[in-house]
Amino acid sequence: MDQIRIVIADDHPLYREGVARTLSEDAGLLVVGQAQDAPGAVELTERMTPDLLLLDISMPGGGGLQALRQVMALPNPPKVAMLTASEEDDEVMQALKAGALGYVLKGVGSRELVGIVKDLARGQSYVSPSLAGRLLAAMRGGQKAKAANPLEDLSKREEEILRLVAEGKSNKEVGLALDLQEKTVKHYMTSILQKLHLRNRVEAAVFAREHLR
Amino acid sequence: MDQIRIVIADDHPLYREGVARTLSEDAGLLVVGQAQDAPGAVELTERMTPDLLLLDISMPGGGGLQALRQVMALPNPPKVAMLTASEEDDEVMQALKAGALGYVLKGVGSRELVGIVKDLARGQSYVSPSLAGRLLAAMRGGQKAKAANPLEDLSKREEEILRLVAEGKSNKEVGLALDLQEKTVKHYMTSILQKLHLRNRVEAAVFAREHLR
DNA sequence: GCTGCCTTCGGACTTTAGCCCGTTTTCCGG
DNA sequence: CCGGAAAACGGGCTAAAGTCCGAAGGCAGC
């Protein structure tokens, strides 16, 4: 049986090193390339046509999610696993929706990683346990799988107002900034809170900080 | 000349591995221990009395900053460098104020790290360039060096309340959660806003999200 | 041409938030 | 022992936030 050909993309040289060496120690695995940014990852994947791409989410040059989408658009896309420190449900969702086979937190042990990589290469998906639980919960709560971003429900104006609220502005100040009546801003707030299933402007501000921009 | 004895603390096994191997390849350096959490780092440092401690900031069991303070309180504290992905000015400040000699971002290259480690062992401080600039700016802006955190002004209770506010809770809900009168919570809010120079609870929530963990 | 959604506003509310006056208890340092 | 800060509470008040009515023009799709 052939070796599993792997490309690693991570902007931290030392972490990349750790992963590469750990995987290389297993006879069944072969690291055929390393990239340090999103464009590099796409380019390398295209050139090396690996079986598996380990992709960090937080990378310069567009971020791992964008790289994921580009890689999946290639003629013979490899299996892709996101390897990341982030636990944002949102990003997990987006990554899996975009075609990632696995989502592995950077805290994994070396021994574990080798096992996971082999599973992934066989087409077996993998999501780190601590995430898996919350993922399932999110799906149960959100019915089918649309939980990605309720932000899309917001109109242009609503989003604009939400941004200002997230900066700590009062309704009156938002009105002043956008040349609207305070009353109108209040109406928008009500609608924003309803659409995002939030209870008050503090929750809205926090939500905006974490999901907007 | 003796080798430089180093302890590495990081909760990511793979990253730890990468650092350890990179450093070990240099004849002048000797990795004498690895820890994966804050208490472990303190304990290991106490037992091994290394020359240098490389400390990750985000670690289970209290976080790297706490470990830093404990380590510095030891009879013969090693030189300590924070090794982290975080770029929070706040944390850099706190770390340096607590006695860290260096603040190295995880994005460093292997070759660089070896050089930096040797500098540190000689007592030469080091702060990653991208941070150094902003640090100086912060100091110029904040006069002397007090810019660390206005959070220290908050009493225990105030901080507790701020956390709940940052979750979107109303004064009444905070009162319910902490078994206080709504009125009391309002009083605390007034005092919190005053101390942090903020105008309303939305700003407080945003502030808390960015400066409180 | 009708049906929606977006944008904008007004009236009339109720509920929260925030400030300024106080008081009491406790606890800690000089 | 006294001062000061923290912790908790109360009254009274103004302003801000949020909700529920309704309404009007615009622009898109069917």
Residue intervals of chain A classified under CATH 3.40.50.2300 are: 4-137
CB atoms near residue A60 (< 10 Å): 12
B62 vs B158 pLDDT, higher one = B158
- Whether pLDDT at A31 is above 90: yes
For residues A71 and A210, what is the distance between their CA atoms, to the nearest angstrom? 26
Average the pLDDT over B106-120 and give the result.
87
- DSSP letter, residue B58: S
Residue B161 and residue B171 in contact, taking contact as beta carbons nearer than 8 Å: no
Strand D: which nucleotides have any atom within 7 A of a protein Cβ?
A: 5-12, 16-22
CA-to-C1' span, A160 to D30 (A): 30
Residue B204 and residue B194 in contact, taking contact as beta carbons nearer than 8 Å: no
Task: Rank A66-80, A157-171, B134-148 by mean pLDDT and report only the highest.
Answer: A157-171
Reported pTM: 0.52
Question: Looking at beta carbons, which residues of chain A come within 8 Å of B205?
Answer: 202, 205-206
The pairs formed by A60-69 with CB atoms below 8 angstroms and a separation of 24 or more are A60/A11, A60/A36, A61/A37, A62/A38, A63/A38, A64/A9, A64/A38, A64/A95, A65/A91, A65/A94, A65/A95, A65/A98, A66/A38, A67/A9, A67/A38, A67/A39, A67/A41, A67/A42, A68/A95, A68/A98, A68/A99, A68/A100, A69/A98
Is the CB atom of residue A162 positioned under 7 angstroms from any atom of strand D? no
Q: Which nucleotide is nearest to A193 (CA to C1')?
A: D18
Q: CATH for A143-211, among 1.10.10.10, 3.60.20.10, 3.90.1150.10, 1.10.760.10?
A: 1.10.10.10
Query: Residue for token digits 């994966």?
Result: B36
Nearest chain A residue to B113 by CA distance is A14
- What architecture (CATH level 2) is domain A4-137? 3-Layer(aba) Sandwich (3.40)
Residue type, B40: G
- Whether pLDDT at B147 is above 50: no
Nearest chain B residue to A208 by CA distance is B206
What the block records as the tokens of B112 is 């660089």
Q: How far is CA A60 from CA A67, A159, B134, in A?
A: 11, 27, 19
Residue intervals of chain A classified under CATH 1.10.10.10 are: 143-211
- Whether pLDDT at B28 is above 50: yes
Is the CB atom of residue A193 positioned under 7 angstroms from any atom of strand D? yes
Nearest chain A residue to B210 by CA distance is A209
- Whether pLDDT at A81 is above 70: yes
| pLDDT the model gives residue B141 | 41
Closest by alpha carbon to A202, among B195, B205, B72, B164? Answer: B205
Is the CB atom of residue A200 positioned under 7 angstroms from any atom of strand D? yes
| pLDDT the model gives residue B142 | 38
CB proximity B132 to A under 8 Å: no
CB proximity A113 to B under 8 Å: yes
Q: pLDDT by residue (tens digit) across A155-173?
A: 888 888 999 999 999 999 8
Who among B21, B167, B170 is closest to A17 (CB)?
B21
- Mean pLDDT, rounded, of chain A: 82
Distance from CA of A12 to the nearest CA of B (A): 4
Question: Looking at beta carbons, which residues of chain B come within 8 Å of A19?
Answer: 14, 18
pLDDT band for B194, please (50, 70, 90 cuts).
confident
Question: Looking at beta carbons, which residues of chain A come within 8 Å of B107?
Answer: 11-13
Between chains, do B201 and A198 touch, taking CB under 8 Å as contact? no
Closest by alpha carbon to A89, among A152, A133, A153? Answer: A133
A96 vs B21 pLDDT, higher one = B21
